[in-house]
Amino acid sequence: MMEGRFKRDIASLDAIFDFVAEFLAQQEIPPDNSFYANLVIEELFTNMVKYSKDGIQDIAIRLDRDGQRLVISLMDFNVEAFDITQSREVDVDRPMSERKAGGLGIHFVKQVADSVHYEYKDRNSTITVTKRIES
């Protein structure tokens, strides 16, 4: 297991991607798995930075391995609840004329993940995503 804390700033993404690469190397997980891991983490992290306006603490990211599954958790401390599992589904069949740029991040997380779990306790939000490791 590896855990890191990252300043709630979009500029933290480079350090986060390095953190993911380090974990994959440590676990001898093929580096191609970084694509979807980075996508999940970026979308969740940027969502917390943008929408948890009352959050001031660093965001914690924990990476773990459970057999052939990657377990990704993000923890946002002392914030209002925001349960992404309850977010509205995106209509992917809409024509271009009815689409707006943006609003796809959580949809991507749900598409990539094998499971998404949300917990809110003592004003702390924890999102845990699992993703099968590709060999």
Q: Is 60 in the site for other proteins (CB under 8 A)?
A: no
Is the torsion defined by CA of 79, 77, 111, 43 positive or negative? positive
Q: Is 39 in the site for other proteins (CB under 8 A)?
A: yes
Among 2, 21, 46, 120, binds other proteins (CB under 8 A): 46
Give the span between the Cα atoms of 48 and 73, in whole angstroms. Answer: 13
Query: Using the 8-state DSSP alphabet, how is residue 101 labeled?
Result: S
Q: Is 111 in the site for other proteins (CB under 8 A)?
A: yes
Query: Using the 8-state DSSP alphabet, how is residue 15 labeled?
Result: H
Residues that bind other proteins (CB under 8 A): 10-11, 13-14, 17, 35-36, 38-39, 42-43, 46, 90, 92-96, 99, 101-105, 107-108, 111-112
